[in-house]
A and B are shown apart, each in its own frame.
Chain A
């Protein structure tokens, strides 16, 4: 038996907007991702040059050396638009809340010996500043970039990094009994501890990068893979008896890295595949950025784990990934 409701059949005049139908080459129904993304940014007939950067329009393809025939060819394989982004993150966050509730209830970070607690304060908590730096860079790539297909995921990523900086902060508050003292000490490490200075210099240098696509490569391929990769993926030994708790409380970060990785890989491989010139630029940028990130992470790895091998291994992960994206690193 089927139940068949009778409704008035009304034939639509068109299936989607004109700019989308032209991209399809046919008038067929579009997804919500496509309608929310494609050709949404203005492209022509701007009125005034920015007072703060009169050499460019506020939307200007010349703000990077990467040249794309169509910036909307760099689609997001996750097909995120605002609603799906927030609903997805709210889901991860629900798990995160449960994990924090469990850690609090079982006092999982309460009884740590002082040396281990000190290690977490000194090596895990300063990542909140690295996430904040990433937030700044992804906001920059959003405001400076070209085409909604690339720039919308950048502001999503900026939101992610702010969220992750706050999750790391909450780990600190769990450690210090909600006083905030651990966060003060972690900031001190970030600012003065020799182990962190290479990373802080790396992040601060990225703040003055004017080419937004290069900034995107540096942040996502080098800093994310090497610095976050080192601390989140390759430091379990250092967290000792707290390793399970740390991985429980940073589950959001693991979800995020898989998710964002899919997008970044599509953007970088798409841009590199567009032309030999793009490929060479990205190769040069990636090689230099990964080398610099590795150099910055070595003293961190040495201080945390006793040798530099984990930093090199994280850098090699980044190199393998870059090569998979069509980038040549030995030029």
Chain B
């Protein structure tokens, strides 16, 4: 009997694929109503290679073990006031950006993978998607629990769900994920599973978690380590999805290519927030955004797309533009938030002289020429008692929803403007990438809930900035404005004073 025993692979197949059946009392088209309209052709779902063969019993066991360890660290961090051990109180602003901008996306991913975990016709990818749905819920909930402790001592985090649904810059990550959630199941898998989790995760997850490690944030870095094995699974699923679609039918190639182009550019725009976090918000720097882009996109992504070339897939459109933008994007974003920090739930500041030197060194082609003079001017204004706040509401790009602050490729002193007409309305874009995305699906992007338009239409609490901030539940003088005068800084200075009294 033992000679006929199942191998691991066959055993796993029986434990998952064997569970499914072709329905006969209800037509398959009714049971799986969403997996045809995108035009993706699947000849044979059984050709799906299970990327990780994890049965539920092993899943529970591994995950329970990781959770026990993680929560032990979180408890200990809280008990020993770990928040007093971070490198510099400015660091907390990265955490504010994370809980308001990123954790809600983890939750969206949870629900999105529940959707594909139910509605993809193939049982193999469905089981993998369900596990990812559970993992993403884990990430949302453990992030909330990790940051819960910081929320007790610092401002800007207390209203994260309310703000995520309303605040102007948070519509950038929110619309990104709403876009993926409202796409079909295959596009979702390419957008999140492949483009986001595989191509770009090292530019989102890794910078935040490494930033935590460099800046003494033991709670967040423990979460990061704990989530690492989940992330590897998600990457494996992402690469399997794209290979499977490309292997199944040649007609899938142009559809997948269009999605890769779209989601690369969407992702690149969202990651601009991470770029600014790395270059400006981390008091102890991990590496510059430009270096991260070179390692994780130019090199790693280059190898990936070389590997995928055998399917006819080419690197994403405008990858060259994005690479050129790596010289500018963090600076242009930080300059924007510096001007609008009265309307943001985190603080900004001018880089110190030492930090400016670091930026000069990391950005020899651009920093001294284009950005240092601006910071020096603003520093002078601050000294003169006129810290610069920009009170005009900016025009937003209809696609990525970022203010139109980016410059022309090859010309860093001219703002880039693009536009399209759709049903007699004019729509504005920050780049060719964003314009192309709109032009391919104008009926979708014409719906965008653009925060500035909404303010002018009177849908955001009132006509004045204080009305809007009140509607955001943003506490003026606590959550917003320059770091220098903030209550966060005052709190920190008091802790330092009491520490030195004890040491004294």
Task: Give the interface of A toward B (CB within 8 A).
Answer: 7-8, 10, 12-19, 32, 35-36, 39-52, 58-59, 81-83, 86-87, 89-91, 93, 96-97, 128-129, 131-132, 135-136, 139-140, 142-143, 148, 151-152, 155-156, 158-160, 162-163, 165-167, 169, 173, 177-180, 183, 187, 190-191, 200-201, 204-205, 207-208
CB distance from A227 to the nearest CB of B (A): 15
CB-CB < 8 A to A90: which residues of B?
Answer: 60-61, 63-65
* A201 vs B23: C-alpha distance when bound (angstroms): 9
CB-CB < 8 A to B148: which residues of A?
Answer: 16-17, 35
The answer to whether A13 touches B6 (Cβ under 8 A) is no
* A160 vs B148: C-alpha distance when bound (angstroms): 29
Q: Does B4 contact A (CB under 8 A)?
A: yes
CB-CB < 8 A to A39: which residues of B?
Answer: 161-162
* A309 vs B428: C-alpha distance when bound (angstroms): 70
The answer to whether A162 touches B127 (Cβ under 8 A) is yes
CB distance from B438 to the nearest CB of A (A): 12
Q: Does B229 contact A (CB under 8 A)?
A: no
Q: Helix, strand, loop or mixed for chain A's interface? A: helix
**Which residue on A lies nearest to B139, using beta carbons?**
A82
Chain B: interface residue total (CB-CB under 8 A): 97
The answer to whether A48 touches B179 (Cβ under 8 A) is yes
The answer to whether B130 touches A158 (Cβ under 8 A) is yes
CB-CB < 8 A to B339: which residues of A?
Answer: none
16 chain-A/chain-B pairs, Cβ below 8 angstroms: A7-B81, A17-B151, A36-B144, A42-B104, A45-B449, A47-B171, A47-B182, A47-B447, A59-B111, A87-B64, A87-B68, A143-B111, A177-B2, A179-B4, A183-B18, A190-B21
Task: Give the interface of B toward A (CB within 8 A).
Answer: 1-2, 4-6, 10-11, 14-15, 18-21, 23-26, 30-31, 33-34, 37, 55-57, 59-61, 63-65, 67-68, 70-71, 80-81, 84, 104, 107-108, 110-112, 114-115, 117-119, 127, 130, 133-134, 137-138, 140-142, 144-145, 148, 151-155, 157-162, 164-166, 171, 174-175, 178-179, 181-185, 444-445, 447-449, 454, 473, 491, 495, 498-499, 502
* A49 vs B449: C-alpha distance when bound (angstroms): 11
CB-CB < 8 A to B153: which residues of A?
Answer: 10, 12-13
The answer to whether B448 touches A47 (Cβ under 8 A) is yes
CB-CB < 8 A to B25: which residues of A?
Answer: 200-201, 204-205
CB-CB < 8 A to A200: which residues of B?
Answer: 25
CB distance from A11 to the nearest CB of B (A): 9
The answer to whether B162 touches A18 (Cβ under 8 A) is yes
CB-CB < 8 A to A18: which residues of B?
Answer: 158-159, 162, 473
The answer to whether B19 touches A129 (Cβ under 8 A) is yes
CB distance from B186 to the nearest CB of A (A): 11
* A62 vs B112: C-alpha distance when bound (angstroms): 18
The answer to whether A207 touches B64 (Cβ under 8 A) is no
Residue of A46, A131, A191 ringed by the most chain B CB atoms within 10 A: A46
> What are the nearest 6 A-B pairs in CB distance?
A163-B56, A90-B64, A12-B152, A132-B19, A143-B114, A83-B67
Known A143-B112, A173-B6, A178-B5; further 18 A-B contacts with Cβ < 8 A: A8-B81, A8-B84, A14-B151, A14-B158, A36-B140, A42-B108, A58-B178, A89-B56, A90-B63, A90-B65, A136-B118, A177-B1, A178-B4, A180-B6, A187-B18, A190-B21, A204-B25, A207-B31
